[in-house]
Structure 1
Amino acid sequence: MEQQTISIAKAGITTVLNTRASVLAAANPIFGRYDDLKSAAENIDLMTTILSRFDLIFIVRDIRDEERDRGIARHVLGVHMNANAPAGIRVTQGAEGDIDMPTIKKFVSYCRQRCAPRLSVEAGQTLASEYVGIRDTVRRRTLESEDGNSPTVPITVRQLEALVRISESLAKMRLRAEVTQEDVREAIRLFQASTGVALAADYNGDPTRTMGFERPEQVARAEEFLKRRIPLGSTTKTSRIQEEGTGQGYSHPALVRAISLLIRRGELMERDRGRVLKRIR
């Protein structure tokens, strides 16, 4: 993938062909739904040798959010409502922003044909420093973790090459002949917001926020305690259930995380600004 070539050895023919294309792939978690209590490696059933070849890896989760759900519903309904309309009308109706689609196509074509930016010395030094820092962070977190397993996506030279390609693409989009530190900083931000989140999920079991070093097993035990303590259809004060759980040996961060997971899954519902919990399923 990163070499933009494909090797063929079939029917007595052995050759290497150019494949000037990008690969956009999607896969479902092996459990059908992303499990927050498991690491990214346990949710993604792909070899690290394959994952390491992708420049950016995004974990897309189905989070219940009313505003986001309404936006998705409007988009899906709009696609069906405009299914029989002419293509030009569909594009015009669905377009958002100040630039129309033909202009965007011309701009992309111009960037591909005329722009070939290269790294500046300052940008190269920044990339090297950030790459070393990311590798050192992953090494330390691997040593501090209980199992000591390698992350789902190993940070190797391939990831450095990915940062270079993203930086060059950003400079090309701005019609620059040279990659600047601004492009490098944006490339690193994109990498941290995508592949970096997947790496964090390996240690925290949650691809959206840090859990410190609360292990997924501790959160699972706290979740079972909450299910036993709060019968279906009953309500209880959040502070009371947390105090009771802490008294029985469950850590407070694990209880808070377990409550958050149950609310996200629709098993608990918050009332009175989070002061009261109700078991709904």
Structure 2
Amino acid sequence: MRKSFRPQSGQLQRCPVDPYHIVPDKCHCVDYQTLKLQENPEDVPHGEMPRHLQLYCDRYLTDKVAPGNRVTLVGVFSIKKLFQKNKGNKDKTLTGIRTPYLRVLGIHVETGGPGRAEFKQFTPDEERNFKELAKRPDAYELIAKSIAPSIYGSTDIKKSIACLLFGGSRKRLPDGLTRRGDINVLLLGDPGTAKSQLLKFVEQVSPIGVYTSGKGSSAAGLTASVVRDPTSRTFMMEGGAMVLADGGVVCIDEFDKMREDDRVAIHEAMEQQTISIAKAGITTTLNSRCSVLAAANSVYGRWDDSRGDENIDFMPTILSRFDMIYIVKDTHDVKRDEVCFIRIG
């Protein structure tokens, strides 16, 4: 391997003859992979960015994980030096910046099923309570009442959200195709009807929950993107919200504020629950086995019964991906408003 000489302060500035030469036939090459570890979305405090750490894998540890997997790692924490290119030439100079990284010694992918992470173990008392609840005939109603109890009404919506959180069973058809078991729900209607509060509640109670706003979301941010690594200058893939929420729930607020091109990009992720990428020489398919809970407003701000379908500004292709669509109206009812006032007060 070639050894480079960088003169330090106080040394001669004359470059010596390099005595090392690379012999390709006698070199021993091993597989090498660079990964970026990101903090779990549910562990990130509100208003803060998730923390990242660079990983270095070699030999049999390469190609063990895919974007969106939750892993447990064992490795050696190290620090590397950064080099900066000089303007006008190709030489690199050493900077005073140090970057931490982890040299991986072992990887364990935490999967308790298709797209499901291994969650905490329940105590015997909790398991006993679950079994007693399952035997009750009103278990469905009790679970629905526990969904956002501070929000009055919206019983049918809460029942649908309960089904969304529990999810269904994925089925493998005889021809090899898969029928998704996750449920997608769309809340469409007037402002001030607690749609965003329901989305926030689902994000908090879901073991894997990601919340995003339609105005600040793009196709790459929801699915996946290909970026260039500033260190190695090679292309690498980063998973979006629907990849990170594999096995959980993605809550998209202000769904009507998204661009139509961005909504088209999630068609495959919502129905086939996969994301196909073919960019910059990277061709792969990522899993996005998650439920989608979206909230949107009417085109006219408030729902107008006289205009019918004109209130909805969505293509039929995206509406067909939702299993349940609810029209939420802020009806002018004195008794209902009095009850809401008493509960708030």
Of structures 1 and 2, the one scoring higher in RCO (CA 8 A, sep 6+) is 1
TM-score normalised by the shorter chain: which range applies?
Answer: under 0.3
Name the TM-score, length of structure 1 as normaliser. 0.25
Q: If you compute each CA radius of gyration, which structure gives the higher value, 1 or 2?
A: 2
Tell me which protein shows more helix as a share of its residues: 1
Tell me which protein shows more strand as a share of its residues: 2
Name the TM-score, length of structure 2 as normaliser. 0.21
